[in-house]
Structure 1
Amino acid sequence: MNAWSNFKMSLRLLLRQWKSGQLWLLSLSIIVAVASATCIALISERLDSAILDRSAETLGGQLRLKSSTPIEDHWQKQADALGLNSAITLQFPTVVIAGEEMSLSALKAVGDHYPLAAKLEVAESADTSVGQIKNSGPQPGEVWLERRLFNLLNIKLDDPIELGESAFTVSGILLQESDRGGNFYTLSPRVMVNLSDIQSTGLIQPGSRVSWRLLLQGNAQSVAQFSDYAESQLADNQQLENLQDGNRGLARSLNRARSFLSLSALLALLLAGVATGMAARDFALKHYDTSALLRTMGLSRKQINQLFISQLFVLGAIASGIALIIGWSAHWLLVQLLVDVLPTKLPPAGIAPLVTGFVSGIAILLGFASPHFFRLGAVPPLRVLRRQLAPMPASSWLTYLSALLVLGGLFWWYSGDLTLTLIICGGGLISIWLLMQLFSWLIGVLAASSLLKNRGLNWRLASQQLARNKQQTAAQVLSFSLPMMIMLVVLQVRSGLLQDWQQSLPVDAPNQFALNIQRWQADDFAAAIAERNYQATPLYPMIPGRIIEVNSTPISEFSREGEQSKTYRDLMFGASELLPDGNEIVAGAWPPKDILQQLETSKSGSKDNTQTVESPLYQHQVSVAEGYADWLGLSIGDQLTLRASGIEFNATVSSLRKIDWGRMKPNFFLLFSPKLIEQLPVNMMTSFNVPEVTNATERAASEKAYSSLVRQFPTVTLLDISRILAQVTSMLQQVTLAVELLMVFVLLAALMVLLTALQSSRSDRARLGALLKTFGAPLSKVGQIFRTELVLLGLISGVLALLASQAVLWMLYQRIFEIEFQPQFIWWVISPIASVLLILISGQLVTRKALQTPPVNVLRQLG
C-alpha cells in the first residue's frame, strides 16, 4: 500500500470514527487548548503594541530630550542629519489674566511639527465634550485653554486674555494632551500657545524656571544612532528618555496583565494536554483490535503508525482551525469587556498569534497524544485470536518525558524566561507528585473508613471503585479541584474587594482635593466650604522637602535599583497634633514633639551696648509612614537630616504609621509637630465632598455653588477625583469579569479532563455493572451505585477546592491586599454542591450507555 492509499484509508477511518462519536472528547480537548492559546496570544501581542504606542504618545515621540536651558543647535542639526522628525516645546508656570480675573496656570509653548507622536484633542465649541484630533498647535496670536480656566476666568471662546505683555484670543478648549506628564507644576490648568509668541510676552527672564523639550520621531536605526550620539553630549541638566522610560507604570501594569494571561493560557494548555493524552489513550485501547486485524492483512508496523498518526494530525488540523475562530472571538469579547480599562484603543494583531495557537495545538498532540498512537503499530497480529494480547507497554517515563518536554517548550515560548520555566516545571512536577500521593492516601483512608462501610451497599461499592485505581482517581480529583479552586478565588476576591472598596468609601467620602491654600486664605476657605455644606477634612499645612541624610549617611547610598525615584523625589512634609483619620500607629508614640534641648546664647548690638540673646534649640521628632520607612530601612530613634525651603534641620523618628490610602483623604509620608512647620513658608491642603445630585435643578445649583468657590479662590488648585472613584469601581468589575472569562477556558479544560477520565473508566464501570446485573442486581441499583461514586468524587473535589481556596485567599488578603480576611461561608455550601452537581451530570452523560449495555455483550467483549 502506497502513501496516498494509506492516507485515503486513514481519512475513511477518521470519518467513520467521527460518526460513531469516538473522537468528540479528543477533538474538544484540542479545541480548548488551541482556542485558549490563540486568545491569550492575540491579547498579549496587542498589549505589547499598546505599550509602545502609549509610550510614544506619553513622550511625544520615540525620544524626548529634556533640558532646563534652551536646546542647543547641535541637537537639532544631528536630528536633521539622521532624518528624524522633531518638535520643540517649553513650559513653565505663569499667571493668565482676563479682565479683572486672574489664575495661576501651566503654560506650554509648542513649535512646528508638534504634536508629532502625541495625541492632542481640542474642542471648538463649549457645548461638546468631544473634540477634534489636531495635527498642529495653536496659530500665532491664539491660545487654547483647559476647561477649568473658563470657570476660573469667567470667559468663553473668542474672548481675549493676557499673558505677560501680550494679548491672545481664546480659540479652543484643550481636552487631551498625552505628553503632559505628571509633576507638581502641571497640576495647574494648561495654557497652550505657539512657540513664536513667547518672546513677545516677556515672561521668560533670567532665573525663570523653564523646562525645554526636544521631541524626536523616526525609524529605529536613526533613533538608535541619536541615542548613541546623546551619550557623549548630555549635560548635567539634560536627560534623554526613550519609549521604555515613557510610561513605566503603564508598562508594569500591562506586563502584569500579560503575565496573568499567559499563566491562564498555560494552565488551560496543561489541563487540555492531560485531557488530550487521556482521550488518546482511550482511543488507542479501543483500536487494538482494528490494528491487529490490519496487521493480519499485511500492513507493516510502519504503515499502521502512519495510518493512525495521519488520522491524529488531520483531526488536529480540523479542530485547530475551529479553535482559531473560537479563540479570536473570545479575544474580541475580552477586549470589549476591558474597553474602558485599557489605556488606549488596542492596535490590531498580526498573524503571529494565530500561528502560536496552531503550533501550541500541534505541540500538545505530539507531546500528549502521539506516544499512545505509536503503540498501535506494536499490536501483535495474534490478538485477533487471543484478545488478551496487547502491545508491549511503553515506558511510563518516556510518555511523561515527552509531555514534560512539550510543556517546558511552551512555558519557555510564552514566558521567554528559561530560569522561570525550569522552576515552574520542576516545582510543578514535585507538587503534582506530592498531591497525587496525598490524594491517593486520602482516598484509601476514606474507602477503608467505617463511615462509608456502614452507610450501605451503594456507598461501600462506590468507595471501593474509587479506591481500586487510586492514582487515576487522584488525577481526576486534582485536575478538577485545581481550576475550581481558581474560580472560587476569583469570585470571592471580586465580591470581597468590591465590598471592601464600597465600605471604605461611604457616600460622603471626599471627592475633591484643594491644594495651594495660603495661610491667610485658610479661615476664609474653611468658611466657604462650611457655607456650602461640604463635608471636609481638617486643613493640613504642607511644604515640599526631602531627606538629606539618615544617621549621617547620605540618602544617595540608600537608593537601590528601581527605587531611586522614591528616595530622591520631593516629598510633601505635613504637620498635625491629632492623628489623621485612616492612620494607625504601629510603633513608637504619637504625637511627634519638639523637645527643648538647650538655649543657644549669642550676642548682638553695638560694641558699647551688647545684649545677650538666648535662642531655644529643639530636638524635633517626626512620624514616618510605614511603607516609606521600609524603603529606607528606618526604625524608631533613627536620626534624619532634612531640607525644606532651603533650611536644613534634624529630626528623630518617633513613630511609624500605617496609612489607609483608600480613604481618599490627605496623607503624608512625614508628619511633624505644627510648631516646626509654622516656622517655614507653608501652604495648606484639605479634601471635601461635593454631594452628587440627580435632580436637574439641584444639579444646576450645585454646579453654580462650586463654580463660585473656584472664582472666589482662583489661586487654589481644586482636583476633582469623583470620576476616578467611579472609574476604579468600574475597572474592578470589568477586570474581574474578564478574569472569569479567561477561567472559562481553564474550567472547560478541566471538564475535558473529567469527561475523558470518566470515559476511560467506562469499561471498568461497564464490567462492574455487568457483574452486578449478572448476580441479580436491578438496573436501578447499578445506577444508584454509579451515582454514589460520582457524588463521592464531586464531594472530595469540592471540599479540597474549598479548603485550598480559603488558604490562598487568606494569603492574598493578608500579604497582598493588606485587609482583614473574612470567610464568606456561603461558598462553603455552594462549592461542594456545585462540584457534586457538575460531576454528577457529566458522569451521567458519559456512563449512561454503559448501564444500558446487556451484560452478555460486555462479558463477551472482555473475553
Structure 2
Amino acid sequence: MRKNLVWRWAWRELFHGQLWPVVAALALIIACVFALSALAGRIESVLTQQGRSMLAADLVLRSNQPLAPEVLTALDASGAEGSDQTRFGTMAFSDNNMQLITVKAVESNYPLRGALELQSDAEMHDKVQPGELWLEERLFSLLDVKRGDQVDVGDLTLTVSGMIVSEPELSFNPFSQMPAALMHQSDVEAAGVVRPGSRVSYRYFFRGSDNELAAVKSGYTLTDGQRWIDENDGDRTGDMLERSRGYLSLTVVLVIIMAAATLLLTCQHYADSRTQTLAMVKSLGAQRSWVRRWLARQLLMLMVMATVLGLGIGAALEYLLRLPLADVLPSPLPSYGMLPWILGPLVALLVALPALGIPLIRLIEAPAMSVLQEQSKVRARKNPWSWALASVPILALIAWSYDNRLLWLVLAALVLMLSLLAGLGVMVLRFAQKRVKRPAFKLALSRITRNPASSGAQLGALATSFMLLSIIWLLRTDLLEDWQQTLPVDAPNVFALNIAKQELDDYLSRVDENNIERSEAYPIIRGRLIGKNGDNYADLEPNREERDEALRRELNFTWRDTLPSHNEVLQGTWPSEGGVSVESGIAERLGLRLGDELTFSVSSQEFTATVNSIRDVEWRNMKPNFYFIFDPALVETLPANWLISFRLEQEQSDVLNQLGRDYPTITLLDLRTMSGRIQVILKQISLSLSVLAGLAVVSGLLLLLTLLRITLSERQREIMLYRTLGASKKRINTTLWAEYGIMAFVSGCMAVGGAELAMAALLKWGVELPVRLHPEVWLSLPTLAVGLVFLTVAWMIRGLLQPLRQ
C-alpha cells in the first residue's frame, strides 16, 4: 500500500507539480544530442567519402620506388583491397602528331573510391582493360586522332578506346601537369618506357575497414621518398575537414552546455519550490529513506519519459535538419548507426547527475523546521556526493574531447568571461545608479544592484548566453569566409603554361578576343636556392634528406615591378634593384630576414639577391603564387616561359580545344572538374555548419527563456509588496520593463566584448585564422539582446500583473 502511495504521489508530482520543465529540459538535451550526433555523423561520413573519392581510395601510399612483390603480398594479407598505379611522363605518337603526356597505368579495379567515367561513342565505361588507351579530351585535337586510331606509347601500339570524362584522382600543381592518358598496368612492361633513371612515381591504393587500414600502415615502414595519404592529408580538403569536425564537436558540446544550464536552473527552481513540501512530510513523521525512495521513483519516471520523448523528437529533428541539405547530400545516406540512440540518453544522464542530484541532496537535507520558517535559508550539510556528482560530466568531457583544442579554448573563455562579465556588469550598473534621475530607472537599478551576487550571476548568465550565440555564429561565418577564399566561385580553373615570349602577345590577344577573364602573365624561370649570407646550404646541412623541401628541388621564380594584387607585404618594401620578395612561410622555415643575401642558381648561373620584403601568400586561391619574386632588372635577361590563368565554364570546352589546336606547344591544365568537386564539398560544409549553428541558437534561446522565466517568477512576491505599499500598476510595469531592458542592454554590450576576445583566441590558437574584429555585432548584438528579452518579458509579464487587475 505504501509503495503504491509513493508511486501515485510521484506520478502526480510529475504531471501536476514542477517536474514537467525538468522533463522538457532533459528531453531537449537528448533530442539535441541525438539530432546533432546523428547529423554530424552523417555529414562527417559524407565529407570523408568526398575526401576519399578525391584520393580514389581510403589510403594511398606514394612512393618514388616500386614495392617489392613480397611487400605487396604482406600488405594484401591485411585484408584491405589493393590496387597499384604507375605514373610517368612520355611522348605519345599518332600518325599525324606527337605530344608529351602524363600516363597513369592502372589496374582493372581502379578506382577503389570515387567514379571513373570513360566515354566510348555512346557507351560509358568505368574500368580500364588491358590493351586500352583512354585520352583526355584535349589530346584528341593535339594528337589529331579519333576513337579507334592507333597511338604509340614507347614500344607499344595501343588503340584509342575513348575519352576520359571524369576521374577521381586530381592534383593541384599547375607546374607539373601534362594532358593525361589512362592505360592498363599490365601494358607498362611491354611499352618499355619505365627504365632505370626514368622519372616515375608509384601509388598503392587500399580500401577497407579502419582496422584493416591500420594493419596496412603498421605492416610497412616508410622509407625516404614515401608517404601515406588519407582524406585528412588532401591538398585542399584536409584542413576543411579537420576544422569542420572541430566545429561540429564544438557545437554539440555548446548545445549540451546550454541545455545543461537550462536543466540546472529548472532543477534548482524545483528544489526551492519543494523545500516546504518535504519539510511538511518530515514533520508528519516521514523518514529520510522514504523521501529518498519517493524522489528516486520520480527520477526514474522522469528519465524514462524524457528518454522516450527526447529520442522521438531527436529523430524527427534530425530529419528536419537534413531537409536544407537534401540537394548536396548523397543518396542513399550513410547510416548513423546505434551511437546516437545510446549517446543521447547517456549524455542526459551524465548532465542530470549533478544538475538534479546536487539540488535534490539539499532538498533531502531540508529540516522539518522549514515548514514554519520558509524565509530561513536551509544550510545543507557538506555532502561528499555533491563533489563526486559534479565531477562526473567533467571527467566524461575530458575523456571525450581531451585533444579538441578548439573546444577547450571556448570553455576556458567561457569560464573567464562569466566571472569578468558578472563583475563588470555590477560595476556598470552601480555607476549608472548614482546618475539616473527617473524614478522607474532608479528603482530598477536599485532592485538589480541590491544583491550583487544574484545580480552578477544573472548578468553573467545573460551575457554568456548571448556571447555563446555570437561565438557559434561568428566562428561559422569566419570559417566559411576562409573556405570561400580556398576556392572562390570565380577562381581560375585553367592554366596555360610554357608560353614562349614570342607568342605571348598573340596568345593573350586570342584569350581576350573570347572575352575570357584572365590573370596577368607571369614569367617563369626554374632554379634553386643554394645559399644564404655567403654560406652554402649543402655545407650547412650535408644530409640532403634533412634539408627543407624547398632546398631539395627546383622552384618556380618570377619577376614583377609591382606587388601581385592577391599578395600582401608584411615586412619591408617591394624589391628595388637587386632585391627579392620572399613568401612568409618559407622565410619562417629557413630563418630568412630582411637584409639577408641569398644565392640562387638558374641554368647553372649563380646570382645573389637581397631580401627586402616578406609577403603573405594565400596558396589555396588557385592564382599564380611564388616563393620568390625578383626585381626585374636582376633576372629578366634569363630564359623564361610565361604563365597565365583564366576561368572557363563547362560549356566552353570548344574554346579550350581550339586553343590547344592553335598553340600545340603550350600546355593547358584544365581544373574545371576538380573545381566543381571542391565547390560541392564547400557547399555541403557551408549548409551543414549553418544548420548546426541554427540549432545551437535555438538551444541558447531556450536557455534565455528559462533564465527569464525563473527570474520573473521570483518577482511575484515583490510585486505584491510594491502594490501593498501603494505603487501603481503603471509604475510597477514601467519598473519591470526598465529593469529587464537595462539588464538586456548591459549584458548585450558585455557579450560583444566577450565574443570579440573569445573569437580572437579561437582564431589565433584554435582554427589558426587571421584575427579580425567583427563590427557587425557591435550594434546588432545589444539590439538583439534587448529585443529578445523584451519579447520574453512581454509574453510572461501578463501573468505577473494579472493579480493587479481588479
Q: Same fold (TM over 0.5)?
A: yes
Aligned to 1:409: 395
> What letter corresponds to residue 414 of structure 1 in structure 2?
W
Deviation (angstroms), 1:191: 1.0
Partner of 2:226, secondary structure, is strand
Letter in 1 for 2:12: R
Per mean C-alpha deviation after superposition, the further-off stretch among 172-181 and 475-484 is 172-181
Is contact 1:118-1:177 (8 Å) kept? no
Closer, same or farther in 2 for the Cα pair 1:663/1:259, shift >3 Å? Answer: closer
Q: Give the conservation status (yes or no) of the 8 Å contact 2:55–2:230.
A: yes
CA 1:208/1:339 → structure 2, altered by over 3 Å: closer, same or farther?
A: farther
Note closer, same or farther for the CA distance 1:854–1:383 as it changes in structure 2 (3 Å cut): farther
Deviation at 1:361, TM superposition (A): 0.8
Counterpart of 2:624 in structure 1: which amino acid?
Answer: P
Aligned-residue offset at 1:485 = 3.4
CA distance in 2, matches of 1:663, 1:61: 26
Residues 267 and 227 (structure 1), Cα distance of their counterparts in 2 relative to 1, 3 Å cut: closer
Is contact 1:64-1:214 (8 Å) kept? Answer: yes
Q: Secondary structure at the match of 1:191?
A: strand
Query: Partner of 2:427: helix, strand, or coil?
Result: helix
Partner of 1:16: 16
AA matched with 2:24: L
Q: Which of these residues, 568, 572, 589, is aligned with residue 556 of structure 2?
A: 572
Cα distance 1:622–1:531, how it changes in 2: closer, same or farther (>3 A)? same
Contact 1:408 1:421 in 2 (8 A): no
Deviation of 1:280 (Å): 0.8
> Partner of 1:850 in structure 2?
800
Alignment of 1:216-235 (within 5 A): 216=206, 227=217, 230-231=220-221
Determine if contact 1:118/1:179 at 8 Å carries over to the other structure: no
Question: What aligned pairs does 1:648-687 form with structure 2 within 5 A after superposition?
Answer: 649-659=607-617, 665-674=623-632, 677=635, 682-687=640-645
The alpha-carbon deviation at position 724 of structure 1 amounts to: 7.6
Matches within 5 A, 1:737-752: 738-752=688-702
Give the SS at the match of 2:187: helix
Amino acid at match of 2:119: E
76-85 or 764-773, which deviates more: 76-85
Select between 621-630 and 197-206 the one with higher mean Cα deviation.
197-206
* Aligned mates of 1:654, 1:425 — CA distance in 2: 42
- Equivalent position amino acid for 2:434 in 1: S
User: Within the alignment, does 1:622 sit opposite 2:574 as a pair?
Assistant: no
Question: Which residue pairs with 2:335 in the alignment?
Answer: 348
Match of 1:210 in 2: 200
1:695: which partner in 2?
Answer: none
Deviations 1:182-218 (A, max 9, x none): 5567633321111233344343355332223344556
User: Deviation at 1:406?
Assistant: 3.9
Q: Which residue of 1 aligns with 2:256?
A: 269
What amino acid sits opposite 1:777 in the alignment? A
Matched residues, percent identical?
Answer: 29
Partner of 1:455: 438
On the 8 A contact 1:517/1:685 being kept in 2, the answer is yes
- Measured after TM superposition, the shift of residue 267 of structure 1 is 2.2
Q: Work out the CA distance in 2 between the residues paired with 1:68 and 1:814.
A: 37
Q: How many residues align?
A: 801
Cα displacement (A) at 1:636: 1.7
Distance in 2 separating the partners of 1:85 and 1:508: 39
2-structure distance, mates of 1:329, 1:641: 65
Which amino acid in structure 1 is aligned with residue 586 of structure 2?
Y
User: Helix, strand or coil for the counterpart of 2:715?
Assistant: helix
Calculate the aligned-residue CA RMSD, in Å. Answer: 4.5
Question: Given the alignment of the two structures, is residue 636 of structure 1 paired with residue 586 of structure 2, yes or no?
Answer: no
Give deviations 1:441-484, integer Å, cap 9, x for gaps: 223333x2222xx113x222222222223333333332333343
Alignment partner of 1:300 out of 287, 293, 305: 287
Instruction: Name the SS for the 1:349 alignment partner.
Output: coil
Residue 124 of structure 1 aligns to a residue in which SS? strand
Report the TM-score when normalising by structure 2: 0.84
2:406, 2:762 within 8 Å by CA — same for their partners in 1?
A: no
Question: 1:795: which partner in 2?
Answer: 745
1:197 to 174, 187, 205: 187
The answer to whether structure 1 residue 109 and structure 2 residue 105 are counterparts is yes
Q: For structure 2, which runs of at least 5 residues remain unmatched after alignment?
A: none
Change (3 A) 1:648 1:5: farther
Q: Partners of 2:424 and 2:717 in 1: how far apart?
A: 28
Greater mean deviation of Cα atoms: 150-159 or 626-635: 150-159
Shift of 1:773: 2.1
Match of 1:124 in 2: 119
**One-letter amino acid matched to 1:625:** E
State the SS of the aligned residue for 2:116.
Answer: strand
Is this contact kept in 2: 1:771–1:855, CA < 8 A? no
Partners of 1:443 and 1:500 in 2: CA distance: 39
**How big is each residue's C-alpha offset from its partner over 1:562-615, in whole Å with a ceiling of 9 and x where there is no partner?**
996567565321123444344454444543545xxxxxxxxxxxxxxxxxxxxx
Distance of 2:263 and 2:715 partners within structure 1: 21
Check conservation: 2:487, 2:621, Cα contact below 8 A.
yes
Q: Partners in 2 of 1:243 and 1:787 — Cα distance?
A: 58
SS in 1 for 2:594: coil
TM-score, normalization by structure 1:
0.79
Where do 1:214-613 residues align within 5 Å?
214-216=204-206, 227=217, 230-231=220-221, 236=224, 239=226, 241=228, 243=230, 247=234, 250-331=237-318, 337=324, 347-384=334-371, 387-388=374-375, 391-393=378-380, 401=387, 404-417=390-403, 428-446=414-432, 448-451=433-436, 454-456=437-439, 458-488=440-470, 512-551=494-533, 552=535, 554=537, 570-591=554-575, 593-594=577-578
Alignment partner, residue 707 of structure 1: 657
Residues in 2 aligned to 1:154 and 1:338: alpha-carbon distance in whole angstroms: 44
Residue 838 (1) aligns with residue 785 (2) = no
Q: Is the 8 A contact 1:380 1:390 kept in 2?
A: no
Distance 1:220 1:535 in 2: 45
CA distance in 2, matches of 1:62, 1:504: 24
Contact 1:47/1:258 (8 A) holds in 2:
no
Q: Give the distance between the partners of 1:728 and 1:197, measured in 2 at CA.
A: 33
Shifted more, 513-522 versus 48-57: the winner is 48-57
Aligned partners of 2:760 and 2:771 also within 8 Å: no
Q: Secondary structure at the match of 2:256?
A: helix
Taking structure 1 as reference, are residues 425 and 309 closer, same or farther at Cα in structure 2, changes over 3 Å only? farther
Instruction: Tell me the CA shift for residue 260 of structure 1.
Output: 1.9
Letter in 1 for 2:662: Q
* Correspondences of 1:123-202 after superposition (within 5 Å): 123-124=118-119, 134=126, 137-150=127-140, 152-153=142-143, 157-158=147-148, 160-179=150-169, 183=173, 187-202=177-192
**Cα deviation, residue 365, structure 1:** 1.1
Specify whether residues 425 and 731 from structure 1 end up closer, same or farther in structure 2 by C-alpha distance, changes over 3 A only: closer
CA–CA distance in structure 1, aligned partners of residues 747 and 700 of structure 2: 12
